[in-house]
Amino acid sequence: MRAYYDEEFDDSAAPVVHFENVGVRYGMGPEVLRDLTFSIEPNSFQFLTGPSGAGKTTLLRLILLSVKPTRGLISLFGEDVSRISKDELTGLRRRMGVVFQDFRLLDHLTTYENVALPLRVQGKEESSYRAEVVELLRWVGLGDRMHMLPPVLSGGEKQRAAIARALIVRPDLLLADEPTGNVDPSLARRLLRLFIELNRLGTSVVIATHDFSLMDQLDVRRLVLGDGRLHIDE
Amino acid sequence: MNAPSQPRLRKAAAPDGPKRSLPASLSRNAPLVPVDSAGGQALAAVIAILTFLAALCAGGAELVSASSAQWRSEIAREVTIQIRPNPQRSIEQDVERATALARQAPGVEKAQAFTKEESERLLEPWLGTGLDFNDLPVPRLIVIKIQEGAKPDFGNLRQSLQREVPGATLDDHALWVSRLSTMANTIIGIGVFLVVLVLVAAGLAVIFATRGAMAGNREVVEVLHFVGANDDFIAREFQRRFFRLGLRGSAIGAGAALVLTLLLGLVTRSLRASPTGDQIEALFGAFTISWSGYAVVVLIALLVALITGIVSRLTVRRFLNESG
């Protein structure tokens, strides 16, 4: 564990995510997010919250580099992303895990194949990750659902599969958009414990949610979005 | 982040019961990009039809090439001496002298003079039967068969004939061979051009289908990007799927073309000895294509599948570059 931390964060003086006066507008409309300046430190845990439509998902997409800022500077893992190549972008995304609000599971792949997808696209042999994927599926309670296709899973099962897919690569940064929105409170607590566990292993975690009961379980930093601006509760 | 181990997660695991031994593979190796939709089936059908047409064009060109080579070799092995009647000379003596001169020429296997009756019979198709040819100055023919593989120079024979048998002309059929070659080469050229045209059409169909598949699988592509797939990986996935689709379509098309060729061969064989069969055989030979013809058809099928895969890969790369 110790060696793992030392190895992984030798370049760790730099924050995992750093935003400097970032603004986003869609087309010719008004800025939906403006003057965002914040950092996400290595091995940190934070909630991203705010009312519906405040721009939580847009902020996560900015970090994922699927939305480009109209102004400002974004750096990920210490690297300015304004001029990175496609290969570098792929490299950065491989260090991130993401749980989408709408799950984004591939309907033609089984639960097992969906969870193993990040490893498969990295060209890894199935024998090298099979046991690990099965173990994670069992941990999130999908051990008996691994051969099923997503359309036959319940909302909660899909959500757990999406979380497992994000965790399987043990990312440096985990972005989760309403990860407990479709599960019962006890499973929500278990999933939160999983995120905490992952954080202890060195992953920076950002959970976007407006579920106060979830946030009240942990005394961590809150990034609060409102009126397009960010306010930080330390 | 590639931690060597994940001990805490593993220990926390297994609320689903004790760990059982796992099968060798839990993945169905399912394609990441589903292109076997209705559009994919339509593309396979288009590729099958285009391969069928390309295979027929190639097979036809091969048939003409083989037949023309046969015609040319037959014509090129035959040379004719024509002796026009001259009232001041005995045509029979001229024929004998010319035949003797021809037999002495190097490379000549056989020299056969047509008798007067045989020469007259040659005119019957044009002048009808029952005519008295005695009043007509019917020329006489000597057919010379050249030894196989020999390419004799008839310059000396031509000079000897001019000197000793005035009124005799030597026809080595060079003009006919040249015309046949031109005609055959033109037909082969058109066949090759059509094959190329069909391959281009197949490529264009694949471009449209790939762009459609990309648009239809936009969300899949986005997810693949988010989980760390690069453009080359995604392009390779599409290429693999389209190659298989192309191979299926081209195998069906080429198979249908081969079956049709075999059927036509059987039909012409069954018509042999009938006037129609003779006409067909005179034009196309036995209506069978050689092994090289079959090889060309198989090659076209593989080429179409390869084009399908490569074009889809290039199209995906371009699409991804355009969409940033």
Widest pairwise Cα distance in chain A:
51
Gap from A140 CA to chain B (nearest CA, Å): 8
A232 inside 8 A of chain B by CB: no
Would you tell me how many other CB atoms lie within 10 Å of the CB of residue B51? 29
Block residue for tokens 């599971």? A105
Question: What pLDDT was estimated at residue A4?
Answer: 37
The answer to whether B22 contacts A130, with C-beta atoms less than 8 Å apart, is: yes
Q: Using CB atoms within 10 A of its CB, is residue A139 exposed (0-12), middle (13-18) or buried (19+)?
A: buried
Q: Does A11 touch chain B (CB under 8 A)?
A: no
Contact B9 A172 (CB under 8 A): no
Residue A126's identity, in one-letter code, is E
Q: Is the pLDDT reported for residue B16 higher than 70?
A: no
A42 touches chain B (CB under 8 A): no
**Residue B140 neighbours by CB under 8 Å, 6+ apart:** B82, B83, B85, B91, B94, B95, B113, B114, B116, B119
Q: Where do the domains of chain A lie, and which CATH numbers do they carry?
A: 17-233 (3.40.50.300)
Higher pLDDT, B103 or B70: B103
- pLDDT tens column, A150-161: 999 988 899 899
Average the pLDDT over B255-268 and give the result: 87
Q: Compute how many other C-beta atoms are within 10 angstroms of the C-beta atom of residue A148.
A: 15
**B18 at A interface, C-beta within 8 A:** no
Name the more confident of B225 and B26: B225
**Facing residues of B168 across strands?**
B83
- Report yes or no: A189 at the B interface, CB cutoff 8 Å: no
- Which two structure tokens, joined as six digits, stand for A128? 């090298």
Name the least confident of A80-89, B117-126, B216-225, B273-282: B273-282
Smallest CA–CA distance, residue A95 to chain B, in Å, is 6
pLDDT tens-digit series, residues A186-224: 888 888 888 998 899 889 999 999 888 889 888 999 999
Whether B140 contacts B95, CB under 8 Å: yes
Please report the ipTM that was assigned to this predicted complex. 0.86
With a CB cutoff of 8 Å and minimum separation 6, the contacts of B163 are none
